[in-house]
């Protein structure tokens, strides 16, 4: 059987990336990734539809690729999948008729069959753990559940990806073991809410038995949990994580979204009390913890006083990493119906001000690492500087945090090296192995 040549684009979150990798596995054992649409039999776009900028990026990507392949003979199959399709398929079909397949996220089980049919081939239906990795040799995302049971007022995810469905423990463990056996040193656990794992099966602290399965895997160097909702950081979970030790890294990504109780209540956050409580729970057990959070500024009704309280909170909390996003007024959400909208220019001013506060904090925290020796996991060769590589320390998550630029003997993608931290910048480090 001739191999299928595939050009793929994965937009949005790491959970989407995993979906793309599983989709590519449906072409196993005979597919070849190619570097341009002109070389492809299939052009595959996995879209994001979470907020307006992501929708715009997805639509522009689809239209651009449709134009690139329009005059090719034979013309590749153009397949579009993901959250944009889940949200706007009926509107998009007449607007972009060049697309051959529109496949919603919740139809993922039929993606292989639909694409194979468009190619005139027999489908290969991948096992639940089969993936064609696209993250390089140093790490892989491990998605443990799909969907979300929360009802945050600003969020479209439950409508796009459905309610929480936890993957079976045995399937996750097998996938993890195969990834590590293939040489992947770091697994990054992702879900819409990692702490909710198992709740759809009636389990409390369901993340604990999952960690118990994954931590003993021979060859696993780092296990990094992402998207830990503050309300799910129970004493039981944190006590287990404290005693677990390596390879679990003390990195806590806790999406707080705001700090003022008025705004948190309006947002419908699952932990609308003082967010300091969640941070204190973590730091009392992990004084060395790297803390990451995401904040939304300009939510409807956010006054200057609300924002000033948020700035004070960020100064006090001293997060290792902080993502700041301006509120997006999304149709179909409860927040869209709220009055007292904050003007766009004020939203941007607040975002820039909070990022400047975080820049100073980040520079101060990274300066404390100058002169220390750290394990650095090497991700890739620097695209512009021969001999220099891009890597990360344990307190730097892939694709969302700063990086460590590293050079020296033994430095190569996928390697973990001991390196001296020579320089600290605002968000990045420079190291010599």
Tens digit of pLDDT for each residue in 41-57? Answer: 999 999 988 888 889 99
What's the pLDDT score for residue 427?
Answer: 97
What's the pLDDT score for residue 228?
Answer: 94
CA distance 143 to 23: 14
Q: What is the mean pLDDT of residues 180-208?
A: 95
What's the pLDDT score for residue 204?
Answer: 86
Is 155 one of the annotated binding-site residues? yes
- Work out the mean pLDDT of the chain and round it to a whole number: 92
Asked whether the beta carbons of 140 and 129 are under 8 A apart, the reply is no
Is 328 one of the annotated binding-site residues? no
pLDDT at 297 over 80: yes
Q: What is the mean pLDDT of residues 129-147?
A: 91
- Check the CA dihedral 183-131-217-251 and report its sign: positive
What's the pLDDT score for residue 159?
Answer: 78
Confidence bin at 430 (pLDDT 50/70/90): very high
pLDDT at 300 over 80: yes
Domains belonging to the chain, first-starting first, are: 4-119 (3.40.50.12160), 139-367 (3.80.30.20), 373-432 (2.40.50.140)
The CA-based dihedral angle spanning residues 254, 261, 53, 355, taken in that order and rounded to the nearest 10 degrees: -70
Beta-carbon contacts of 304 under 8 Å, excluding residues fewer than 6 positions away, are none
Q: Is 189 exposed, middle or buried, given 0-12, 13-18 or 19+ CB atoms closer than 10 A?
A: buried
CA distance 249 to 223: 6
Is 152 one of the annotated binding-site residues? yes
Q: What is the mean pLDDT of residues 169-177?
A: 96
How many Cβ atoms sit within 10 Å of the Cβ of residue 265? 13
The candidate with the shortest Cα–Cα distance to 266, out of 162, 343, 340, is: 340
Q: What is the mean pLDDT of residues 102-112?
A: 79
Number of alpha carbons in the 13 Å side-chain half-sphere of residue 389: 25
> Which letter, b or e, does each residue of 362-381 get, where b requires 16 or more Cβ atoms within 10 Å of its Cβ?
beebbeebeeeebebbbbee
What's the pLDDT score for residue 116?
Answer: 79
What's the pLDDT score for residue 318?
Answer: 97
pLDDT at 271 over 70: no
What's the pLDDT score for residue 1?
Answer: 60
What's the pLDDT score for residue 28?
Answer: 63
Eight-state DSSP code of residue 244: H
How many Cβ atoms sit within 10 Å of the Cβ of residue 193? 21
What's the pLDDT score for residue 333?
Answer: 87
Is 13 one of the annotated binding-site residues? yes
What's the pLDDT score for residue 137?
Answer: 95
What's the pLDDT score for residue 189?
Answer: 98
What's the pLDDT score for residue 124?
Answer: 72
Q: Are strands 416-424 and 404-407 parallel, antiparallel or unpaired?
A: unpaired
Q: What 3-state DSSP class applies to 201? A: helix
pLDDT at 26 over 80: no
pLDDT at 309 over 90: yes
Number of alpha carbons in the 13 Å side-chain half-sphere of residue 296: 23
Question: Which of 9-23, 285-299, 340-354 is least confident?
Answer: 9-23
Question: Which of 66-80, 176-190, 347-361 is least confident?
Answer: 66-80
Asked whether the beta carbons of 47 and 62 are under 8 A apart, the reply is yes
Q: Tokens at residue 249, please?
A: 């890294």
Q: Tokens at residue 257, please?
A: 């979204």
pLDDT at 4 over 90: no
What's the pLDDT score for residue 272?
Answer: 58
The candidate with the shortest Cα–Cα distance to 282, out of 354, 215, 230, 218, is: 230
* pTM value > 0.85: yes
pLDDT at 104 over 90: no
Is 48 one of the annotated binding-site residues? yes
Q: For residue 95, what are the CA distances in angstroms to 38, 71, 84?
A: 23, 19, 14
Is 83 one of the annotated binding-site residues? yes
Measure CA 429 to chain center: 22
Q: Tokens at residue 90, please?
A: 């009926």
Question: Which of 81-85, 108-112, 247-251 is least confident?
Answer: 108-112
What's the pLDDT score for residue 158?
Answer: 79
Q: What is the mean pLDDT of residues 274-279?
A: 90
Eight-state DSSP code of residue 147: -
Q: Tokens at residue 47, please?
A: 């879209």
Asked whether the beta carbons of 255 and 229 are under 8 A apart, the reply is yes
Angle 132-36-66 from CA coordinates, rounded to 5°: 105
Number of alpha carbons in the 13 Å side-chain half-sphere of residue 16: 25
What's the pLDDT score for residue 382?
Answer: 94
């Amino acid at each position: 059987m001739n191999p299928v040549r595939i050009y793929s684009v994965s937009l949005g979150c790491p959970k989407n990336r995993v979906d793309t990798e599983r989709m590519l596995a449906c072409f196993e054992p005979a597919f070849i990734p190619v570097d341009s649409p002109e070389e492809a039999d299939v052009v595959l776009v996995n879209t994001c539809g979470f907020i307006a900028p992501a929708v715009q990026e997805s639509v522009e990507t689809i239209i651009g690729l449709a134009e690139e392949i329009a005059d090719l003979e034979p013309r590749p199959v153009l397949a579009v999948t993901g959250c944009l399709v889940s949200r706007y398929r009926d509107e998009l079909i007449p607007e972009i008729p060049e697309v051959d397949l529109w496949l919603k996220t919740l139809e993922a089980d039929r993606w292989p069959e639909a694409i194979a049919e468009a190619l005139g081939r027999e489908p290969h239906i991948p096992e639940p753990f089969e993936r064609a990795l696209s993250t390089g040799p140093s790490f892989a995302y491990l998605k443990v559940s799909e969907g979300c049971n929360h009802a945050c007022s600003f969020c479209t995810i439950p409508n796009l990806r459905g309610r929480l469905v936890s993957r079976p423990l045995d399937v996750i463990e097998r996938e993890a073991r195969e990834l590590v056996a293939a040489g992947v040193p770091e697994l990054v656990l992702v879900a819409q809410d990692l702490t909710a794992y198992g709740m759809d099966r009636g389990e409390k602290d369901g993340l604990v038995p999952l960690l118990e399965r994954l931590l003993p895997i021979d060859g696993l160097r780092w296990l990094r949990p992402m998207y830990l909702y503050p309300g799910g950081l129970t004493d039981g979970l944190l006590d287990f994580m404290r005693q677990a030790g390596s390879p679990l890294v003390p990195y806590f990504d806790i999406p707080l979204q705001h700090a003022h109780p008025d705004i948190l209540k309006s947002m419908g956050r699952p932990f609308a009390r003082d967010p300091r409580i969640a941070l204190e729970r973590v730091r009392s057990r992990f004084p060395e913890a790297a803390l990451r959070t995401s904040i939304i500024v300009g939510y409807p009704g956010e006054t200057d006083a609300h924002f000033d309280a948020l700035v004070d909170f960020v100064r006090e909390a001293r997060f290792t990493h902080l993502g700041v996003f301006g509120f997006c007024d999304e149709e179909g959400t409860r927040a869209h119906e709220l009055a007292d909208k904050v003007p766009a220019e004020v939203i941007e001013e607040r975002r820039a001000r909070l990022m400047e506060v975080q820049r100073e904090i980040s520079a101060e925290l990274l300066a404390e690492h100058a002169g220390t020796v750290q394990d650095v996991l090497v991700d890739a060769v620097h695209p512009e500087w021969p001999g220099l590589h891009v890597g990360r320390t344990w307190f730097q998550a892939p694709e969302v945090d700063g990086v460590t630029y590293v050079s020296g003997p033994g430095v190569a993608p996928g390697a973990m090296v001991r390196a001296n931290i020579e320089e600290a910048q605002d968000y990045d480090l420079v190291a010599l192995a």
